[in-house]
Amino acid sequence: MNNEFLRANRVFFYSQTGDKFFRPVRVAAKRPSIESVSFNISSNATTEQLDEAFKLRLSRFIYDLSDPDAETRLEATNALVAIGEQAVVPLISCFDLTPRPGLSQFPEEVGDEYAQAILEFGEPATSHLLKALADGRFIIKFRSANTLGRTISDPNLMIPGLIGVLDDSPPHTSYATEAHDLIRESERAITRIWRISEIDLENQRKLLALSHHPNPFIREVPSKLLEMSR
């Protein structure tokens, strides 16, 4: 992702630590400078000073995820993982910076630096990705579904959320529409999970029940899963 794209697409997001909400953090058009900020903040530092230090660090590391240098990207990912679970929600919000994938593109090939960082968090990221499936923005839901399909986590936590996306889909969709693309991406995620994980009987029944969905694309999902099991 180049700087021109970032200049045209700036995102604000919140991160949460316990009951404390930080003010919005922006992924800036320029690499945030943190050299002037002392991280040995005294015990009497104000809330505003702590917030500002946190925002600068988080913005810097997220910005560096799109750096062309592989070592810089790795250092940024490690730093975000070290910050902890509170970095996951800002990273999910950054999905909104990524371009809409074309029909011929796999989602992993387009603006995937945020998903790659989220995957490093493992299971702690799952609940945040599931919540993001209910986001009103297509690209957030689309990339959250894609990332869930690549997450090593409890499949019986992930499957209900992905089924929910399909259940909420309209009865009729056309190719090259957001609704259709979201169905296909949720299906791909379910297929990946089905292939490598043990899914309990209750969730298997819910998946097979999709054969009664009014949308013909969704009705195909159970037969594809059963074909894989043969």
Q: Pick 152 or 140 by higher pLDDT.
A: 140
pLDDT of 82 reads 87
Alpha-carbon distance of 141 to 129, in angstroms, equals 9
**Residue 103 shares a structural domain with residue 198:** no
**Residue 149 shares a structural domain with residue 181:** no
Q: Pick 150 or 39 by higher pLDDT.
A: 150
Q: What is the pLDDT of residues 90-116, one digit of tens each?
A: 899 888 876 666 544 555 555 688 898
Alpha-carbon distance of 8 to 218, in angstroms, equals 36
Tell me if residue 178 falls in helix, strand or coil: helix
Tell me if residue 205 falls in helix, strand or coil: helix
Q: Given a cut of 80, is residue 28 above it in pLDDT?
A: no
Beta strands per DSSP E along the chain: 12-13, 16-17, 20-21, 25-26
Instruction: Please give the residue range of the domain that contains residue 177.
Output: 155-230
**Residue 18 shares a structural domain with residue 74:** yes
- Among candidate residues 153, 178, 210, the one where a domain is terminated: 153
Torsions phi, psi for 13 (to 5 deg): -150, 165
What is the pTM for the complete model shown?
0.76
- Among candidate residues 114, 131, 153, the one where a domain is terminated: 153
pLDDT of 51 reads 67
pLDDT interval class at 37 (50, 70, 90): very low
- Among candidate residues 153, 183, 212, the one where a domain is terminated: 153
How crowded is residue 101: how many other Cβ atoms within 10 Å of its Cβ?
19
How crowded is residue 178: how many other Cβ atoms within 10 Å of its Cβ?
14
Q: What is the pLDDT of residues 172-198, one digit of tens each?
A: 988 878 999 999 999 999 999 999 889
pLDDT of 214 reads 95
Mean pLDDT computed over 82-91:
88
pLDDT of 85 reads 87
How crowded is residue 168: how many other Cβ atoms within 10 Å of its Cβ?
12
**Residue 112 shares a structural domain with residue 19:** yes
Q: What is the pLDDT of residues 40-79, one digit of tens each?
A: 445 566 667 666 667 777 888 888 888 888 888 888 898 8
Whether 145 and 162 have beta carbons less than 8 Å apart is answered as yes
Alpha-carbon distance of 221 to 194, in angstroms, equals 11
Q: Which two tokens stand for residue 229?
A: 């099991």
Q: Which two tokens stand for residue 168?
A: 């909420």
**Residue 52 shares a structural domain with residue 110:** yes
**Residue 47 shares a structural domain with residue 148:** yes
**Residue 99 shares a structural domain with residue 35:** yes
List the Cα angle 163/195/108 in 5-degree steps: 75
